[in-house]
Amino acid sequence: MKRRGAKRMAVWAKGVMWWVWVGLISGVAGCSGRSDLLEFDNWRELDVSGLDFTHFSEVQILSKNDVWVGGRYHVESYTQGVIAHCNGSAWDVFINELPYEVTAIYFLSSNEGWVGSLGLWHYANGNLEKSPDIPSGYVTSIRFTPNGCGWIIITGGGLYSYIFCCTDSSWALVDSFSFRIADLEFRNDNDGWAVGEYGIVLHYDGTSWSIWDSTGPWDIPRNIEVDSFGGVWVGYYAGEDYYYCALARWNGTSWEWYNIGGRELEFTNQEGWLLEGFWGENIWRYRGGFWERISPEGESLGFLEGLDFNGPDYGWAVGERIFIYER
């Protein structure tokens, strides 16, 4: 990665010094995309030529001028976590000694957020500090409800999962399960959903988590989403040896199976979006009860993993490449 104009600073956290690269990354054309790169159906490709050796798997949009991404920085056999911020015209990239790639992010503002990796990290004004409240394990999901309550999932080797809740920056264990939980989502403070292995869906009613259903057609899930029509969607690995991805939707009485799937799923008010394919090669849209491919036929978008929308008219898809949706 080109760190021209960047500086190296030391951050002390709980008695441990972390070296952090902070600064503008040269050669990146801002957050507005470029007309000479790929464009299709209100999507346009962002020039990431200055973000060498990075692969982003997470994205969160606070506004058009306040976008966070996370993933991994990899050179030869060396890998560590990376988070980056785009203010609409320039990038700040933070490469810390995270022990693993970034697996989840949730930012409350430009200056504060939470980063999941092998453990949970609190970001504040350029500094990353590991949370002492969280046990060892991988953070698979971070969400905050409208009233400011934070939720995370911690898993350990597929043998257990912990659900933690946060108020006032202090995390407390809420529940634990003897299976892996891949993802969680909230409609509101009293309506939470999580997806686990072996067809299990958990529901939160404002008081506690419980197994809501265990008949889903999956063994290994990827994500869960809720739409504005009351539907619950699960993306998962399917087939012998789990060689492709599929979708399932709860229609009120049973699970409907869709022979498409992918790396990430997101719903806005009236539409759904999918990074389709085992490697997230295509972008599909759900509208009027049907899925359709939006990205050009014969054009692979590379390895896309992260997807987020800020309202129905602005979104990002990230991976080896970055695409921005705006209408």
Residue 5: per-residue pLDDT: 34
Structure-block tokens of residue 81: 């976590």
Per-residue pLDDT, 35: 61
In Å, what is the CA distance from 187 to each residue of 127, 147, 307? 31, 12, 18
pLDDT per residue as tens digits for the range 138-156: 999 999 998 889 999 999 8
pLDDT in the model for residue 19: 36
By CB atoms closer than 10 A (0-12, 13-18, 19+), residue 213 is middle
Distance in angstroms (rounded) separating the CA atoms of residues 4 and 20? 15
Sequence spans of domains, the chain = 133-253
DSSP β-bridge partners for residue 289: none
Whether the CB-CB separation of 244 and 261 falls below 8 Å is answered with yes
**Distance of CA 205 to CAs 107, 186, 187, 192, Å?**
25, 10, 11, 7
Long-range CB pairs of 195-198, under 8 A, 24+ apart, other chains included? 195/221, 195/223, 195/224, 195/234, 196/161, 196/221, 197/158, 197/221
- Measure the CA–CA gap between 93 and 80, rounded to whole angstroms: 13
Would you state the pLDDT for residue 99?
74
Model confidence pLDDT, tens digit, residues 161-175? 999 999 777 899 999
Kindly list the strands in the beta sheet with 161-167, ordered across the sheet, starting from the edge strand earlier in the chain.
Answer: 138-144, 150-155, 161-167, 170-177
- Report the CATH number of the 133-253 domain: 2.120.10.30
> What pLDDT is stored for residue 158 in this prediction?
59
Q: Is 308 within 8 Å of 263 (Cβ atoms)?
A: no
Contact 306, 58 (CB under 8 A): yes
> Would you state the pLDDT for residue 187?
92
pLDDT averages per 10-residue partition of the chain, 327 residues: 32 35 44 74 87 88 95 80 88 77 95 93 90 89 92 85 87 94 94 95 96 92 91 88 86 88 90 92 93 94 94 95 93
Its pTM stands at 0.88
DSSP strand pairing (181-188 vs 201-204): unpaired
The two tokens of residue 82 are: 């990376």
Alpha helices in the chain (DSSP H): none
pLDDT of 33: 58
